[in-house]
Structure 1
């Protein structure tokens, strides 16, 4: 049996890179070009490229693959010179000491050609985490300009055998396919590319041939810092050769596919921009999509071969995953649909708005228009996840009003999918009419009937097709019908959809990213039914501008371009486009978003009474009794307030009042609130950059007991921190200062859930109490069952504080906080007068607080926090074993943290990577945010109802992004 691997190693596709070291390259640069200075190697599939830093600036030494003829290099230099007036920054070939631009050298038996090129300044598009629409269009624009510039360029060196030449795409795939070890992948690639080759073959004789760049991709273009939306330069011309003109665009589109795999229609922006520079002929439009598929396949097989032959080529190996992603994305598309969309985008078909004087059916009432949007009351309590919910809602309305009508352009919540990185297909491109069976339907326009199947027809009009389903058709296939002619009768549910893709049935629901294009393809059919069904939607960017105009901007929002969230359910958040996100950061919403029991509790109590705690009502008694029962002995007395900040402020006042002392001990890097007192004991520079310089005299900061990145590290570091504390206490005593209180979170929440070293709180509490002070446990973030095994964070440290502050979790988003202490501490505070909080103990607040506790008990959410939290932490630790970017994993239950570092040995905070990671996770349907003084710790604190499935979705997405950031 023949060994195809051995055979292909002797083929023109076997082009392992030249073998030479950086030191040798530096020596050649000096000997042949008179260039001296340090150098670094740049990536390349088949050549060797070195950036040299000289006194005059940067240059690039290119060491060409031995398989590339000198005349081909001469062609590249000539093409650069030919395009010098194109308005782009391009490299220029520099002469050697002897005046020749190409220098031949021999090393270790290899004859190699060297060239020295000027360095093109700018940032490669590969450095951009996510391409914008402007950048995607810029790629198409530059590709078109290069093709237009080379239309009259001829050189003998462009007539070359190149594996990237798509005229030989099938040959390359045939030769290199054996390098795919995965049989299933190999068979799929063969099947998909066979179809693509057949499609190209039908128009191959009409495809234009000229010199092309051949690789106008993100690797080879740059932008200057002041022109990030515009491509300013092209940096490599190594693939200049004769080829199909349309192959240039195919290569660029393949690049866009692997940069935007979740939005494949982004290529249409590239295509439109290219076609504005180089109008395409019909054969090229037909061939484009199959050529894009072939390009992705050639990249895949070439990458597999290159890694096999050249195992130390990190550049090729790093590209492999995204090349496979691009191919898989292309292979998953409907080729006929993509061709039709490309043709629509290129031809820029402009047709009149949909209009008729003969609506399909009789008068329809505006009251019958359904609301199936994200904010519809019909979808409360998670009913939107019920299969067939739209039809159920419509049938109920039709039963009352005689008919029901869905909206065009509505993002339907029923189409939202959870726990997925893929866009949910939520945008409705048509309408549905729920009519009495037998309702007469008339042709709304002059058209020819095409009967598709039972109950479905396509009316072919002058400017668009009209697709109808749910119809007993009277007409016959091919029949011409005048507007107003009886077409048939409705069978109960009639779908109506217009399309400008002739003969191709468009999808009824599409992803929001394709909304602009698809709504051009499938215009609003409202006129055809005599009722305005369009669902306008405010632009989230405009709403954000309105927010900034009226809402103090210091009240920050998550993300650079935040999604507009308008609904939540359990641990999911949903934006106005019906896209779902796993909420991994919202520890305020303990029992989950949109809980029906809380909604009913609020409704019921509002209908009875809401006032303040100076009145007498049982809800307050029931709630405070319940809290006192949950508190550890001897804490038995409750204050109700509005927030965590107010709770901390009150706790500090209790301590001062009870002890009569003058100083509060607070740990560094902590956050406790925004009031004057709560802010005074907060020292997190992430929340207040001047925190360490602005503490009042009554606050004394002690070392943060962070056993991972603190002054002392390791699980047994408590003793050393306590020794330092002894020094602090002695210094205070020497200054005749007395300790009123020590305040700290029992788990270092603001640092991402770092557990305190064992014995630390016990040691601190003993020392503070020995000096007459009180111990305050700030449980606002970490308490209330969040740790899973423990209801209170102090239980993990086996201590009982004198005062507990809580909030956030208590009201599931309703403003509610509490301070729990001993009766004697509370009574001493009464000496200063009565205490009052307007809404803290209101009937509504108490009713909601009780309901939250009931739900936590009935749904066993503390147990869920332990089980899912343990599963999640184990998964995070496994990611830490795979990726050096993960410096540490913190916490327990559903209060976890992942610290990102750029250097594990030095524990250098990876702040920029953390910000980028959060943005990338948002695109995969995950909401998480960084915390800590360096904003490099992922704070993971989801609602306690988080499921294992959602945790796994988060872990998978996090692993993907960590992999991308680690490349």
Structure 2
């Protein structure tokens, strides 16, 4: 007879009742409960109390019986509210009694209180119940911290550390396939798990939280009401408690890893686990099952007599087969996430790094992806024809449907978003390996749809991990994996699927690719798995996964986990957030409300207005997520939303903003810094809010100093919005709605060398054009008057980016000053280093104005402007009348102004403007050799113009071509304007941070647009 059977108690119900009466003085009704090694009886006493009488296996050493008694006593003392059995003493006050069987075997007896509830095995095991189980086990194990007993150190096959002993029992498993299954788990255990177990926390644990030892509330089955049977308790790794409970909970459960996650989440809430413990949980769950089935196999001869041994064998095998089909790294990611850890170490840092460094990423396509007109590809709509004809069945028809849509709506890029629910994933390959009767339907990559052959580039430097062909139908076709290791970021992998096979002969594993290097091309359906041409781009924060292991489609239930393992690649690819969700009012509603609420002559750019919602550097992003390269709005001098400006503004606004009647450091500091950029004669500053205010203040200074009104202004010039500035702006008063010049306003010829008379020597252009000013002064003198001032932009902008001929301002300033007038340089558009070679455009003419006005670039979009003048003019202005401007020179504005100067100087943006500007001018001149329509190229730094003509000899303006180019560039995502009397001059004033890469993008769009317009207009 088996030794265990000899010592297993075999008392009848009547004999057990007699023992109960003898040792505890209780008369009761007894009923036998299932048990493997001992005998357990439910005791229903006459007084209504319920207990459990345990008759302990005779082979169990006394130290083990004493251990269980001490354990329950400890829990009772330190966590009395835990619903576990409490010991009832014998008539003599002892915790245990003893008796001898008819076989002469001594057995010990223990009577404990009954714990009310239903076995978890008899109820549903939903997430709430399993999480409650985890919390109960966490509370129980936490109550045992510091508890130890010699009996806890016993040698037990059910000790998770001894799971490797299952190898010695494999020969009892008759199926070779089943043995191979167990061997796979055992090899993993011995190689990767067992060596790490010794390093983990260990304590006394229950060690057998199967669903017969766990009770739920009879009414609320979501709440665990008790924990019983401590016969397997021992000192073991703490994580084993969770693994064992999860192993049993997963039996016949449709989502065993989800069940394990619920238990781990609950346990972690009461008894925080360490990452290294959770990392072993999947394998420990499997090894508990391996132990179970091999022990059952070794005892199979006796299972007919003791069904308790075989109760979980069939579902255990089923669960082991499920676990074997799972990727352990994915299962571990789910378990880690359940405990609040990253799905894989460093996962969240990868996404954070990409978001923080997105501006430095190279374009994935020929130009930044956000610059293409884009639309969602309708794979999320199961009724759409493209969806119906996709999935490898009719890719050519699906592509044709998409191309028709693109032509009809002006779309160039299709986007299939991350996380989208898709019905196209219908094949067997998309059946979940985690959850029964579930499909993987959530897209975990980013799809970019363009024509087959579209070239794709890596935004970051990379090492090629693999290049392979996946031949499965509906597979990836050519599949490329790249590893990226940017400084300050954990390494991550990018997956490039549905590529053309040409990459196989061009790159190989181990190759290094620089940022911006070619990865490959979008494949055609015959080579990309049978799909319409597109790129499946996916990030993987788990670099241990091979290209084919990376999960391209996932279960909706685990989307939060997949999001950490495979973060949305939209930022990496350069797709703007605004593409995914439009906010605010529609274009039509805004236009309608503007007409109702705003001045009717407030203009809107373009026939189809743009609604911009965000600016960033050189880009403006509209409400559909399309990014436009801003080569026009020179207000944001150092780039839209420059972080230094934003920080300075927010920091000072959070401390103090007030007016100049009070003392503050900022206004003095800014005046010092600003005047230091100007010639030594210009020493006194006045601060206002706009260029118009600056020019109005300049006129006040002029009147106080000269006592005159007569103005000399250049034809087609513009100086501001107030009436006195409209009066000196021919651009306004000579156009529709204007009433011509007032008597005190005298208009000089615009000194445009390109349109100078042919017989004028080039070296005399400056003096010849100045004669116009001399004639005006002479006319004033004939009336006994003189000029009060001469005002001109140092580079006339509205007139068409006109660069003054050499010597022009020297001669004009001389004439005006000799006649008693002052000279005002309007630097509102051209100042602050835009010309590159100098801080101020007037410096390129070798002159020093009496008054300099500035605005627009001064605050990078913040309403700030200034006037700087000489001490002599200032003394005239100081005539007793107070000058006060409520907001001019306030602490916030001055903080912003200082930040702008810091950036210009600290990043040598003048030098950048000069080098990039020269690069563009050279490229424009090269275009001039190819396009007869380009009559003149002009520019200095980042103040640029291209004049378009119908005939180079007559220089007749080509307004139609200019407008077509401006609108064509806008359609291609580049903003520029047209200026000049005939709107035939392309005007470009990009931010000072404009890079060579930005310049190349501008040039590519101009080349494409010029060619297109030339074809269209003939």
Q: What TM-score results when the alignment is normalised by the length of structure 2?
A: 0.47
Larger C-alpha radius of gyration, 1 or 2?
2
Q: Which has the higher contact order (CA 8 A, sep 6+)?
A: 1
